[in-house]
Amino acid sequence: MAATNDTDGRKYLSDFAQFAIEGDVIDISPFGDGHIAQTFYVQTTVRNYVMQRMNTYVFPDVEGLMANFSAVTAHLEKKGEETIHLVPTREGRIFLRSPNGCFRVYHSIENAVGYSKVTSGELFCRAGEAFGRFQKALADFDASCLSEVIPHFHDTPKRFGDFCAALEKDVCGRAAACPEEIAFFLDRKDTYARATDALADGRLPLRVTHNDTKLNNVLMDADTGLARAVIDLDTVMPGSLIFDFGDSIRFGASTAAEDEKDLSKVHFDLDLFDAYARGFCGALKDDITPYEAEMLPYGAYLMTAECGMRFLGDYLAGDVYFATAYAEHNLVRARTQIRLASEMEQRQEEMAAVIRRVLKDSV
């Protein structure tokens, strides 16, 4: 099931004790704002840890996921990038399976902050740099040794098929309440296959990608404001660079939160797009192919439309995937994505001009 709002970590302390932790527990409290895993901050007398209860509904292949996680973090560490440092169980395993669920523990990255909202172009530029560097550091990582933990994760035509299936079933009888939102995705069905087609015929190279590049998945140093580490590595899989770029834009180049109810506040911000593109392309420099660069504006539209259809599909299916705080939450989220996707659709040319300029400046 979707992550619950059950936030009392004390019942998982016996699970925490199975890990090779130092010190005695002082406190455990809920942490972060992801929609998928349950996350806790655990303070001991020696140091601070993060414990996550993984969502095995979303990620049934926990072994594959954790093998990816530990291989990728080891590679990043080798490349001198700050990353998540896993703590093994006392038996030497990288995660724990117990009657309470599946858990992993890692060292807390201290004196670092994650942002749920872009507060300046500067901040967003640094997030772009972090994800660009992440891509670059993994460019020589053998993608064939990664498990595809959620097959077809950014396969938008497949996501559209899932959306249509949820619409067809309409298990909660909610479709009648959102005909315009449904029509938005149906009307655009011919726009969803450009990335999957280009990956299939090789125009877009397959890379190791993060696949969930929301702003809050980069930790910034609390003192210097500089990007420190990319977190939430659950969805690291083979994919396209335009997915990583696009998902960041979807979330961060918006003037409002992903679940803002007042749509008059929700707009795609071209200056923020510019700032992120500067950071991302600047970190990658000539590692980005001309076709990838050309597809970046489309990637932003595609990731936004895809996320919107996932939210709306989950609303129609009865909120089984994303954690929700109230009955209309997924519908509200879908609406913001629709607003953003349609503005991005209108502004593809301007975005392309930004990319051309940014690339010229970064060589």
Question: Which positions touch ligand GN1 (CB under 6 A)?
Answer: 34-36, 58, 212, 214, 232, 234-235, 258, 307
* Closer to ligand GN1 by Cβ: residue 41 or 47: 41
**Count helices and strands in the chain by DSSP H and E runs:** 11, 11
Q: For residue 163, give the nearest of 344, 336, 306 by alpha carbon.
A: 306
- Determine, following the binding rule CB under 5 A, whether residue 155 of this chain makes contact with Mg ion: no
CB 273 within 8 A of CB 326: no
Residue (25 or 150) nearer to ligand GN1, CB: 150
* Cβ-based nearer residue to Mg ion, 1 or 26: 1
Do strands 112-113 and 218-221 pair parallel, antiparallel, or not at all (unpaired)? antiparallel
Q: Which long-range CB contacts under 8 A does 174-179 form with residues at least 24 apart?
A: 174/315, 174/316, 174/331, 175/316, 177/331, 178/312, 178/315, 178/331, 178/334
Q: Smallest gap, in angstroms, from Cβ of residue 59 to Mg ion? A: 10
Task: Report whether 69 contacts 146 (CB < 8 A).
Answer: no
Structure tokens belonging to residue 292: 């990838």
Considering the complex, state which of residue 194 and residue 214 has its C-beta at the smaller distance from ligand GN1. 214
Find which of ligand GN1, Mg ion, none residue 15 binds, CB within 5 to 8 Å per kind: none
Which of 15, 81, 232, 258 touches Mg ion (CB under 5 A)? 232
Q: Min. distance of Cβ 238 from Mg ion in angstroms?
A: 17
Size of the residue set binding Mg ion (CB under 5 A): 2
Q: Does 212 bind Mg ion (CB under 5 A)?
A: yes
Residue 68's binding partner out of Mg ion, ligand GN1, none, with CB under 5 to 8 Å set by partner kind: none
As a whole number of angstroms, the distance between CA 167 and CA 171 comes to: 8
| Nearer residue to ligand GN1 within complex by CB, 282 or 308 | 308
Q: How far is the CB of 247 from Mg ion (least distance, A)?
A: 10
H or E stretch at 106: strand 101-107
Which residues of the chain form contacts with Mg ion (CB under 5 A)? 212, 232
